[in-house]
C-alpha cells in the first residue's frame, strides 16, 4: 500500500525566523496576501477591514505595523499597496506567503504558539513583579 509522506517540518527555518522575529500574526499575513493580490492598486484601511472582517481601527493598526516593517507603502490612490522595500525583503516575504498558502495550519499553529508563549511570559513577569519588594523613598 502506498503511504503519503508528510513533511514533519513544512516551515523552512528562514520563514519561521522571519515570522517570529517580526511578530507577524495571521491577520498580518492575510493583509499581505490581499495587498499582494491587488498589485499596484492601493487599498484603504476600511477596504482591508471589510476584506479581513476586522474593525477599521484594527486595520489601521495592522497597516501601520506592516508599514513600519517596510512591507507596504502608500499607494498613489488612497491606501496602501504591497511593496517590500528591498528585493531581499520581497523574497523572504514571498517565501513566507507561499509557505502560509501551502501550509496554513502549521504556520497558524506556529504564530499562535508564539503568541501564547509571549502572553504566558508577560503573565509570569507581572506575577513576579507583584512580589518584588520596593524600597521606600
pLDDT digit string, tens, across residues 86-129:
999 999 999 999 999 999 999 999 999 987 665 545 554 555 55
Determine contact, residues 30/122, Cβ cutoff 8 Å.
no
Burial (CB count <10 Å: 0-12, 13-18, 19+), residue 57: exposed
Q: What pTM was estimated for this model as a whole?
A: 0.78
**pLDDT-based confidence at 43, cuts 50/70/90?**
very high
Q: Which domains does the chain have, with CATH numbers?
A: 14-130 (1.10.10.10)
Amino acid at each position: 500500500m502506498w503511504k503519503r509522506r508528510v513533511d514533519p517540518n513544512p516551515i523552512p527555518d528562514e520563514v519561521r525566523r522571519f515570522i517570529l522575529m517580526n511578530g507577524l500574526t495571521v491577520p498580518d499575513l492575510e493583509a499581505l496576501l490581499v495587498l499582494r493580490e491587488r498589485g499596484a492598486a492601493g487599498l484603504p484601511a476600511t477596504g482591508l477591514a471589510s476584506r479581513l472582517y476586522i474593525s477599521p481601527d484594527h486595520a489601521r493598526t495592522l497597516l501601520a505595523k506592516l508599514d513600519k516593517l517596510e512591507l507596504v507603502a502608500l499607494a498613489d490612490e488612497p491606501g496602501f499597496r504591497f511593496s517590500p522595500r528591498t528585493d531581499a525583503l520581497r523574497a523572504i516575504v514571498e517565501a513566507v506567503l507561499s509557505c502560509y498558502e501551502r501550509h496554513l495550519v502549521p504556520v497558524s499553529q506556529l504564530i499562535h504558539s508564539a503568541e501564547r508563549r509571549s502572553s504566558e511570559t508577560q503573565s509570569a513577569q507581572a506575577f513576579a513583579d507583584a512580589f518584588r519588594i520596593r524600597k521606600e523613598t
